[in-house]
Amino acid sequence: MLMATLHLVNRSPLESRALEQCLARAGEGDAVLLIENGVYAAVKGADSEAVLKSVVGRVRFYALGPDLDARGVEASEVGETIRIVDYGGFVDLTADYRPIQSWS
């Protein structure tokens, strides 16, 4: 188990400052999992792309594949710095990181 935090962001950067607030608090080695409408932050060319790239190397990024699918976002549209995970990958992240912080 890592001694780093898993941050869950479920709101689009267009509807909430959750991602911005999360990244302001995220520490070295933390991970951010984009879920529900939060997956919109993973799209290449989105306003959030520069923000995500600014913390790459300090924070790892993941997006939940089924939530991308539900919103019609193709894997090819997801930024290179973001790893797509399935539900099993989500469970693995929750087992690997402690504590878990939700942002909405």
* Tens digits of pLDDT across the chain (104 residues): 557 999 999 999 999 999 999 999 999 999 999 999 999 999 998 888 888 888 888 999 999 999 999 999 999 999 999 999 999 999 999 999 999 999 98
- What is the model's pLDDT at position 52? 87
- What is the model's pLDDT at position 46? 86
Query: Which residues partner with 8 through β-bridges?
Result: 33, 102
Question: Which domains are seen in the chain, by residue range?
Answer: 6-103 (3.40.1260.10)
